[in-house]
Amino acid sequence: LPQAYAELELTPAPGIEELVVAEGEFDGDFKTVQFANVHGTASGVLGAVQVRPFVRAITANGDNVTTYGQVWTV
């Protein structure tokens, strides 16, 4: 099974960090992408951390669509 690991260094201020976990080209009328059993932790943080998963598809001519999942509070 494919696995990945990533670590982000966050600054001591509010903000948004984006982490790309997969990229690829696709063509045709229909494509399915699925992520399952994704886990995350936040350490050395004062207060809650919110994670909002999303998928963005961008076509060759620049058209794009983004869909967001439920916000996770860590």
| pLDDT per residue as tens digits for the range 21-47 | 777 777 777 777 777 777 777 777 777
Query: Total structural domains in the chain?
Result: 1
**Contact status, residue 6 vs residue 28, Cβ threshold 8 Å:** no
Please compute Rg for the chain using Cα positions: 15
Average pLDDT, the chain: 76
Query: Tell me, what's the pLDDT at 21?
Result: 74
d(CA 48, CA 21): 22
Q: What is the DSSP letter of 23?
A: -
pTM, rounded to two decimals: 0.57
* Residue-number span of the structural domain to which 17 is assigned: 1-74
* pLDDT above 80 for 67: yes
Query: Tell me, what's the pLDDT at 2?
Result: 67
